[in-house]
Amino acid sequence: MELLNFSNLSSNPLFLSLILLFSLFIWLKLSTRKRLNLPPLPPTLPIIGNIHQIGKVAHRSLRDLSTKYGPLLLLQLGYNPTVLVSSPQLVKEIVKNHDIIFSNRPKMTALNFLYYGGRDMVFSPYGEYWKQVKKISVLELFSHRRVHSFQFVRAEEVEAMVNKIRGASLKGEAVNLSDMLMLISSNIASRCILSHKSEDEGGCSKFGQLGKGC
């Protein structure tokens, strides 16, 4: 009976088509790896790739993979191929000699809405526009003179945070340092850019969950 069922299944055109497509996918994958000379790739599963090898503590899982397969390897995270580099020497080689190749950022739908088609300095594609934006940012925003001009803002916000911690300590109250550090970062950025704090009267960030202030 089982042999009969398998015989009927093997003669099914849909089943044969699936087998053919799967074989073609495997052949294309192997031929592509040989042609492009890609880094080592750990065993993958269909569709999800290597996602099943990434545990709850991602950096430890990546460390274990690099220890087993080498400092340079290729991970298939679902649809996206990702190169993992865990050697300082290789990172230096990439940044110094192959910086242009790795300058572009992946194009995602969310970036088109949040960053106006990826036109900011971080997500814009490498080219003349990116060079001009970087030049303006370095000269007008990140210069030593500009950074030093906001030193008083950083000093005031750090002093305010220390005073909050001191007050909570005297009252015997618990302090969530993660929220306080996120809030001080938000306040510093908001004062430098918008000239006022992002903190409301209740001590929470006006950006809410976006700023992780409360």
pLDDT in tens, 67-92: 888 888 888 888 778 888 888 888 88
pLDDT digits (tens, 9 = 90+) for 30-73: 555 555 677 888 888 877 888 888 888 888 998 998 888 888 88
The pLDDT value recorded for residue 201 is 60
Tell me what pLDDT residue 163 has: 93
Q: CA–CA separation, 188 vs 199, rounded Å?
A: 10
User: In the structure, how many helices (H) and strands (E) does the chain have?
Assistant: 9, 2
Sign of CA dihedral 96, 100, 101, 107: positive
Determine the 3-state secondary structure of 51 from DSSP: helix
Paired with 72 in beta bridges are 85
Q: Measured between alpha carbons, how far is 108 from 105 in angstroms, rounded to an integer?
A: 9
Give CA–CA dist 200/197, Å, rounded.
8
DSSP one-letter code for 39 = P
Residue 50: C-alpha distances to residues 31, 58, 73, 143, 209 (Å): 20, 12, 12, 42, 31
Give pLDDT tens digits for 103-158: 777 777 777 777 777 777 778 888 888 888 888 888 877 788 888 888 999 999 99
Where helices occur in 37-150 by DSSP H, the ranges are 58-69, 88-97, 109-114, 128-140, 144-149
Separation CA 122–CA 105 (nearest Å): 8
CA–CA gap between residue 39 and residue 71 (Å, rounded): 10
